[in-house]
Amino acid sequence: DRLKEITGQDVPLFKVDMCDDKAVDELFAAQKFDGVIHFAGLKAVGESVAKPLFYYENNLVGTLNILKAMIKHQCKAVVFSSSATVYRPCEEALDEEKPLGCSNPYGWTKYMIEQIMMDTAKANKEMKVSILRYFNPVGAHPSGRIGESPSSFPNNLMPFVQQVAVGRREFLSVFGNDYSTPDGTGVRDYIHVDDLAEGHICALKKIMSNDGGCCLVHNLGSGTGYSVLDMVKAFEKASGKPVPYKIVDRRPGDLATVIANAGKAKQDFGWETKRTLEDMCNSAWKWQSENPYGYDEPPADK
């Protein structure tokens, strides 16, 4: 219903378990798909450490089923939602040539799927593959009708900030303030989800315009870093609400700075970010304030 409000048209939805190879095959047999944008997968780093087999099975088996169905039913273009977690730790801006290496099962599933996609493209000369490694998506659709709604404990910074602002959480935990950054908190490259969505469209158009098969890899990021406290202050300004926080110990493995070099995406298909930090925070606040419990109903006692 929300998609129809925004787009003005019905958007068909088929609920299929991508780990069910028969169900995936039947969907591709029943529908004519020109291309696939593959977002589906588990994505909580901490959970992946606790439940590695769950992550490997879901993310890898699901992708294999999708690729097998694509090949069988002559669907030749796929854009894969990868992640900056495939890169080895590095304090420099990350371009696509930086060394790869992962520190958790979630990251390894992304890395392995990239390899599967590359090998599939080599073996199937008409297969067109785009791998997009993105950094830290934030924000929401400007209508306030679609946004991030974690099904359980949030795994990213901004949902925590938003939930503190609407009173669902008492304070934000900031993991360390002794990094070698301007204010001591970790610096990350944040990208508005609308910019990210446009990047996927650009990437799909790029590979579909290619005469033969291909496998392209691009970063999607802004190239600008903001600290945790930068994000808190920007969100306080956008919302007019205080976001109390407490400094706690660093998390193992966290780096001081992680920023993208996304120049290749601009060069190859003309994509670059357009939205500002203010846009990210304004849209996130509109979404959270109008939907304090996301897509869920408020608790009965509220």
Catalytic-residue membership of 106? yes
Q: Could you give the CA distance from residue 302 to residue 48 in angstroms, rounded to a whole number?
A: 33
Catalytic residue among 106, 134, 226, 245: 106
Residues in the chain: 302
Question: Which residues belong to the active site?
Answer: 106
